[in-house]
Amino acid sequence: MVKPKKFGKVLAAGTILASSLILGACSKEDEASSTKAAVDADGKANISWSPILYVATAPNDVIEKKIEEATNTNLTFNWIPDATKDERLIASIASGELDDIISLPSTLVTNSSVRQALKSGVFWEVSKYLDDYPNLKKISEDRRTAASIEGNLYGVPFQKDFARGGVLIRKDWLDNLGMKVPENLDELFEVAKAFTEDDPDGNGKKDTFGWSDRNELRYGSFKTLASYFGVPNGWAVDDNGKFTPEHETDEYMETMKYSRELYKNGYLDQDFAVTSKDDQLQKFAQGKAGIYAGLISITQLKNLAEGINNNVAIVPQNKIAGPDGEYRIWSEGNGVNGLLAFPKSAVKTEEELKAVLQFVNDLINEDVFMLMTGGIKETHYTIDDKDAYTILDNELWQKEVQGFSGSRPSEITYKLTDADPDKQLVNEMISENDEFAVMDPSVPLESPTASERGTELQKLIIDATIKYIMGEIDDKGFKAEVKRWKESGGDQMKKEYEEAYEKSNK
């Protein structure tokens, strides 16, 4: 087994779509943009932005107006729901009808078609500009490298903690069953079993199960469990620079077997393959499931449970030991959560680009960070004499502020002490995760095959893994799919990553 180095809905998109993205965007290059980043006579920049909406409803304009005041801008937010972001953004890039700022999460930056558009010059390359702005200048070199494609930086990196993984567990259910917080994979399995079979809510009905889950591997239970088993993050690279894909490791097979056992016994949501993120959250909040992968969702789950499950108690756990007793957790994007990208079809001149970059820089100022995080002081949040941060009205905060929190260019510049001890414990665990975060060595590297066919190749493995977990294929069937992956471009991608790695380490 090649050990991973600590360094560091998927859409199939073919050559025709990739070409249409590039040609479509370029064909719009000379068309007038409805909103430009030009500066008005009063000195305000007119800026349009397509951010991703990670909650159910877009916020009203209360915070938007405050952000405009703080950044001296006239803003237009065109929110894109998380569930449709791939289709919407790919279509927008193809048409060339784009706002001044496009939020591209990591999953889209690695999408074959979007990556081709980035490399083709549809968006501004900004690396030479960052050091001209006080906040952007502080973006670390490792994060700049992680966000780059062949050494080019096609946007401002979304900065985040290296690893936010872990599990959230119904503490009241543990207490009802006389169980402790699990510390290893065997104990975690036993908790999932007990939450399914032993009536953890005490209602006398068999109406609960262990793991809430959803229709993706990366942000559902599987990727987190894979980390605990010691699966490399995407790829492993040995001391000789040889790459091994995660799905060809023994640890990946062990994770699949563990997950299949959970599924077969009903300890994992039987509908996970068709369950959306929203439905997954609701199942946990409604008291149907007792384990959730993802530490940062603790506040959202508690809020959703209000009025439904008022006595819910959740305990976070970031330290689940693997078979060898070691702690590991995968890092998404090596500390980068995608890009704030600036299309040349909308931002036509260097002057306009500088106005947009100034705006992004100002979003990282503490006053704007707090607007996007907490809202308006003494209206949405307060900070007490011990510097503890508290949301005053969850319903109001969700309505007017929460949508903005997922679009902050940096989640790491300021650290708040949360008055909610559960949320503060999560914050501390996320910081602690830096110690055992496993990076993806392929993030800063380029592979033509990955750019052209990476999404469809990944889908082969995703589909095969889900089928294995559900018992639709066996070991032989999974290995047959891996063979198909290798022959369809996987081996070529591996070779290209090795060549790029060798080149980058000369």
Average confidence (pLDDT) over 422-439: 95
Q: Give yes or no: residues 271 and 347 share one domain.
A: no
Residue 386 lies in a domain: no
Residue 33: its pLDDT value, please?
A: 40
Residue 5 lies in a domain: no
pLDDT higher at 419 or 182? 182
Q: From 398, 427, 447, give the residue that closes a domain.
A: 398
Q: Give yes or no: residues 305 and 359 share one domain.
A: no
Span 363-375, pLDDT tens digits? 999 999 999 999 9
Residue 345: its pLDDT value, please?
A: 96
Residue 37: its pLDDT value, please?
A: 59
In terms of residue numbers, what domain contains 92?
Answer: 45-160+336-381+393-398
Q: Give yes or no: residues 137 and 217 share one domain.
A: no
Q: Give yes or no: residues 109 and 253 share one domain.
A: no
| E strands in 67-186 | 73-77, 80-81, 101-104, 156-159, 167-170
Q: Give yes or no: residues 328 and 340 share one domain.
A: no
**pLDDT for 276 beyond 60:** yes
Residue 24: its pLDDT value, please?
A: 46
Model confidence at 8, pLDDT cuts 50, 70, 90, reads very low
DSSP string, 4-38: PP----PPP--HHHHHHHHHHHHHTTTSPPSS---
Average confidence (pLDDT) over 49-68: 96
CATH number of the domain residue 76 falls in:
3.40.190.10
pLDDT higher at 311 or 167? 167
Residue 38 lies in a domain: no
Model confidence at 428, pLDDT cuts 50, 70, 90, reads very high
Q: Give yes or no: residues 132 and 194 share one domain.
A: no
Instruction: Tell me if the pTM is above 0.85.
Output: no
Q: Give yes or no: residues 98 and 226 share one domain.
A: no
H, E, C per residue of 163-232: CCCCEEEEHHHHHHHCCCCCCEHHHHHHHHHHHHHCCCCCCCCCCCEEECCCCCCCCCHHHHHHHHHCCC
Q: How many CA atoms lie within 13 A of 251 on its CB side?
A: 27
Residue 451 lies in a domain: yes
Residue 6: its pLDDT value, please?
A: 34
| Mean of pLDDT over the chain | 91
**pLDDT for 139 beyond 60:** yes
Both structure tokens of 394: 């969850």
Model confidence at 5, pLDDT cuts 50, 70, 90, reads very low
Span 287-345, pLDDT tens digits? 999 999 999 999 999 999 998 888 899 999 999 999 999 999 999 889 999 999 999 99
Q: Give yes or no: residues 257 and 319 share one domain.
A: yes
Q: Give yes or no: residues 317 and 443 share one domain.
A: yes
Q: Which of 423, 428, 433, 425 is nearest to 297 (CA)?
A: 423
Query: Which residues is 366 bridged to in the sheet?
Result: none
Model confidence at 115, pLDDT cuts 50, 70, 90, reads confident
**pLDDT for 286 beyond 80:** yes
Q: Give yes or no: residues 124 and 211 share one domain.
A: no
Domains: count for the chain: 2
Model confidence at 74, pLDDT cuts 50, 70, 90, reads very high
Q: Give CA–CA dist 66/89, Å, rounded.
A: 27
Angle at 437 between CA 217 and CA 182, to 5 degrees: 70
Average confidence (pLDDT) over 45-52: 97
Average confidence (pLDDT) over 466-471: 98
Residue 418 lies in a domain: no
Model confidence at 75, pLDDT cuts 50, 70, 90, reads very high
Residue 31: its pLDDT value, please?
A: 39
Contact 341, 104 (CB under 8 A): yes
Span 191-233, pLDDT tens digits? 999 999 999 999 999 999 999 999 999 999 999 999 999 999 9
Average confidence (pLDDT) over 240-245: 97
Q: Give yes or no: residues 308 and 290 share one domain.
A: yes
Residue 272 lies in a domain: yes
Contact 153, 126 (CB under 8 A): yes
Q: Give yes or no: residues 150 and 212 share one domain.
A: no
Q: Which of 230, 324, 167 is nearest to 1 (CA)?
A: 230
- Please name the helix (run of DSSP H) or strand (run of DSSP E) that holds residue 394, with its range, or none: helix 394-400
Span 145-158, pLDDT tens digits? 999 988 899 999 99
Residue 410 lies in a domain: no
Among the residue ranges 250-254, 344-348, 391-395, the one predicted with the least confidence is 391-395
**pLDDT for 30 beyond 50:** no
Span 377-414, pLDDT tens digits? 999 999 998 889 999 998 999 999 999 999 999 999 99
- Say whether 391 sits in a helix, a strand or coil: strand
Average confidence (pLDDT) over 256-264: 98
Residue 431 lies in a domain: no
Residue 310: its pLDDT value, please?
A: 83
